[in-house]
Structure 1
Amino acid sequence: MTLIEHLRELRGRIIKALLGIAIGAVLGFIWYDYGLLEFLKQPYCSLPNELRYPSDDRCTLLFLDPAGGLLLRLKIAALTGVVISSPWWLYQLWAFITPGLHRNERRWAVSFVALSTTLFALGTICAWLTLNAGLRVLLTLAGDEVTAALTAPDYLSFVISLIVVFGVSFELPLIIVMLNLVGVLSYETLGKSRRWLYFLTFVFAALITPTQDPFSMLAMALPMVVLFEGAIQAARIHDKRAARRAAAEGYGDVPDDEPSHLDVTPSSIEQPYAVPAPDPVPLPTSDQRP
């Protein structure tokens, strides 16, 4: 494919991904009236009454401008569309990369989409389970004399950003596995940098979590460490199999930058194919001339 053809392919994949997100956003816009908002309010409503405003059995979120309700609904619908359509746009991403791979590598498409969707869902579940504890820590830091009156845009932006951050962060081990499968990152490199990888995981979790509390940091970092270790072990298994295949082919000890051995023996030159001469065109006789 030429560069223009690649750009056309990319444009088509982006359009298809955006259409999937748009369909998911429409579903999220409709779902808003059928329990989506109540579902997102649940971590806040499960807090003790003294941490909420008003301090009774009601659970109310505020918005401070006339267009706040519409913008809130559109924002939730758009982010819901991104989450719902994640298998579709992840497939479009992988389908754009697939033509540059070998035939056996194309078989990873289904596994890539399934694993990436599963990891994103696992990240959102971990975020949801830690959301209540994170809110409790943040709302109690101001003391007993202060009651938090959260606005709907601020609260839902906080919830959705936490879910998205957890979901995307859980995709990082899968990226390591894919880089190992295409030969960019080896198990030897991962094994040597394991300690730094785990340390940077805790630093990343401390910086990326919106709550900035130790509970949320550990809730993100510990599962990521387990996933990273699984990715390292997957790289170890893959590199061992690749080494066995290379040894069976006789190139196991050949460095990657060493050229292949070429057969310089000259081959016999075949005789050129003789093109038969065309039949002569008869000249017109005197009686055929005008």
Structure 2
Amino acid sequence: MNLRSGICGLRLPKMAVAMSHIAMVGALVSYGADAGKDSSLTDPKNEHAAVMTGVSPVPSASPQLSVSPSEVTELLSQKEELRRQLSLSQQTVQTLTSSLAESNAEAELFRRKFADLELRMEALGLASASKDRAKLEQRLLTAVSDLQLAQTERDRYRDQMMQLSEAMLRYLKTAEGGDAQARMDVEAQLRSMNTLVEKSSKAQPATGSLLDGSVIGLKEEWSFVVGNFGAREGVKIGMPLRVKRGDEVVARLRVVDVRERICGAIIQESGKEKIKVGDRLEVDARPDVSVR
């Protein structure tokens, strides 16, 4: 009897411990179910229970940020400042757009004027010559040559006029009767023609020699001089010349083009005095000066 009672006494504490464990597990299961519905693990009791059971507590959601009135005022001020800057930027863009349109219009106008100027220069034959000094010199020489041809043609017309005048005078001397007024008109025209011929003869420049020529043309910007002697007097391309005024040598030249009665030369050396039309021109016969 005592042995049976002792065995029962040993079993009762073990059963009590087992029952307490079962009750604790049941409480945890029910607590987990409630926690899924309501996340209130932040309660100190729940945290204590989680610690006791070895379960980590679930962190709570972050609280909402609070903004002070001063910060709100500052944000509104920044917003207004950004709006003002945006308005200024839009006005600047409009101004620049208008300026760009005006600049494009002016550029188009200048382009048309430049194209028109190029067309005129091309029509005058200056478009290509303005880029090359040698071409400019050649054009000048050509112009001088054309002038010489015009002078030659003028001389021929003058001779024909003189012959016509002489023939008319002979005719008037041999003619008998006729209209006296018509005779007077013819004589007046002949006198006028003779006066014109005499003036033309005086205006024609005299041809010089290699040692006694003169400057008849000058283009300072091209350093170009035209002399009144040419191939007929023995001038050759590359021949050295000098310009003198009295006994003073004003400049030294080099012939670059030769025509029948004139020549063109480039200035190689010049002093303080500038060359003038009418200065004496002669060949530089110094032994140390080459022809080329």
Tell me which interval the TM-score lies in, with the shorter structure as reference length: under 0.3
From the two aligned structures, give the one with the greater strand fraction: 2
Query: Which TM-score applies when normalising by structure 1?
Result: 0.21
Query: Which TM-score applies when normalising by structure 2?
Result: 0.21
